[in-house]
Amino acid sequence: MAKNTICLWYDTDAEEAARFYAATFPNSTVGKIHRAPSDNPSTKAGEVLMVDFTVAGIPCIGLNGGPAFKHNEAFSFQIATDDQEETDRYWNAIVG
């Protein structure tokens, strides 16, 4: 188990984000999906609360913590690419 894990805060779409990263970047996977054992301020019992995943080999946790915090440019994954084709593939996947 890694000693450092990046935790990314989502409103409700941590699982969707983890699956996007896993489908887009090599050496990326979706691991265990943790469901809320009971109602809490951000999720109802049985809904996805946290998702373990990796992005390019980096361990991450996606937390469905509610709308209190929004994603911004303060955090980003930087992925080195071998050529323009690879860069374009990632760019198109991200910005569509």
User: How many Cα atoms occupy the beta-carbon half-sphere of 44 within 13 Å?
Assistant: 0
CATH superfamily label, 1-70: 2,3-Dihydroxybiphenyl 1,2-Dioxygenase, domain 1 (3.10.180.10)
Tokens 């992925």 map to which residue?
79
Per-residue pLDDT of 11-52, as tens digits, reads 999 999 999 999 999 999 999 999 999 999 999 999 999 999
pLDDT at residue 71 greater than cutoff 90:
no
Across the beta sheet with 48-55, the strand order is 6-10, 58-64, 48-55, 29-35
Per-residue pLDDT of 50-68, as tens digits, reads 999 999 999 999 999 999 9
CA distance 45 to 31: 20
